[in-house]
Structure 1
Amino acid sequence: MPAPALHPDILIAKYETIRCWTDLEASRHEKLHAWNASRLDDGTLFLSARITGPNPGRALQRFADRHAGYLSRRPQTPGDQLPALDVSVEGREACVWRTGGVWVELWHPIPAPAAGDRPEPRPAGTSRPPRRGLPGARLPFGRRSKTTTP
């Protein structure tokens, strides 16, 4: 069995990702670096790359939108999944999808908020009242009684 980095499915997924990334207008200054190929615990192939540049979050979101359209138009293999944004790993945002039996992930670190950007701590059990301007604070949703007709 070839090493994950040389597996034909990894090479196809990497080429496809690079081609779509370079076609994206928003990625002129953001680049893909630190490619890593491995196998997950269940043996599935996994490919990951880090996005660097001045605005990686915006480029990642634009890529996810565009790549979803591209993947939905090409022939699918069983188990393929369209790109989805993922923030389950603390301190980073990722776009994850599965193509040709390979899980692919593009990610960038999310900087920790500055001390002045953090919300003030609140005692446990207290909640903020709805702010004006939010839909839930101004829309008149009420309960309707059910009427039955004989």
Structure 2
Amino acid sequence: MLELADALVETKLSAVRSWYQAVRDRYPSALVPDWRVGTAEGGAPLLTAQVIGQGAQEALHHFASAYPLALGGSGDLRPVFEYRPGRVVCVWRSNGVWVELWHHDLPAVTAPSPALMLRRRLPPPSGRLPLGQRLTNIRRQYATKEN
């Protein structure tokens, strides 16, 4: 069992070192502080950590696409992305250990339309249906004629 423990420690140290070397200049506030040990579906050991902080999404994409991990063992696999409900996962295999770095799948942020900005400045609705200016004028005319 000592071999497995050594592989976990070595893989974690390699992943942490590679992560911070890859993102320290461009995304210094993207962190991977909380590593968890588990078992993958096939029974292999699994290390997983959530990427947190400002720019987590961009940092994870940069790490997987632009930074080469030191992989060379039998069965090692390059990083790939998986999209699971609610999260984006970068997964690879090193020293027989599966490693997952992930972040929450955030919806794309778009700039609000000018019409939406105008609606935000208007007071909230009162619960009644809005009446058009024409209908209001017609009601005033009928009220004036009846009196």
Is the TM value for this pair above 0.5? yes
TM-superposed deviation, 1:113: 6.4
Secondary structure of the corresponding residue to residue 64 of structure 2: helix
**Letter of the aligned partner of 1:56 in structure 2?**
A
Alignment of 1:15-54 (within 5 A): 15-24=13-22, 25-54=25-54
What stretches of structure 1 move > 4 A for 4+ residues in a row? Answer: none
Q: Distance in 2 between matches of 1:27 and 1:80?
A: 27
Equivalence for 2:94 = 99
Alignment of 1:60-139 (within 5 A): 60-67=60-67, 69-71=68-70, 74=71, 76-87=72-83, 89-112=84-107
**Letter of the aligned partner of 1:53 in structure 2?**
G
Q: TM-score, normalised by structure 2?
A: 0.65
What whole-Å deviation, never above 9, does each CA across 1:34-74 have from its counterpart, x for those lacking one? 2111122432110000000111110001111234x233xx5
Structure 1: state its 5+ residue gaps.
Answer: 118-150
Secondary structure of the corresponding residue to residue 26 of structure 2: helix
Structure 2: state its 5+ residue gaps.
Answer: 113-147
What whole-Å deviation, never above 9, does each CA across 1:54-97 have from its counterpart, x for those lacking one? 11110001111234x233xx5x222110001111x111111100
**Letter of the aligned partner of 2:16 in structure 1?**
I
Kindly indicate whether the alpha-carbon contact (under 8 Å) linking 2:40 and 2:98 is maintained by their aligned counterparts in 1.
no
Q: Distance in 2 between matches of 1:10 and 1:107?
A: 18
More helix by share: 2
**Letter of the aligned partner of 2:96 in structure 1?**
G
Q: TM-score, normalised by structure 1?
A: 0.63
Per mean C-alpha deviation after superposition, the further-off stretch among 49-58 and 105-114 is 105-114
Per mean C-alpha deviation after superposition, the further-off stretch among 8-17 and 35-44 is 35-44
Q: Distance in 2 between matches of 1:113 and 1:65?
A: 20
TM-superposed deviation, 1:112: 4.8
Equivalence for 1:145 = none
Q: Distance in 1 between matches of 2:85 and 2:69?
A: 29
Q: CA RMSD in A?
A: 2.3
Greater C-alpha radius of gyration? 2
Percentage of pairs with the same residue: 28
Q: Distance in 2 between matches of 1:63 and 1:39?
A: 24
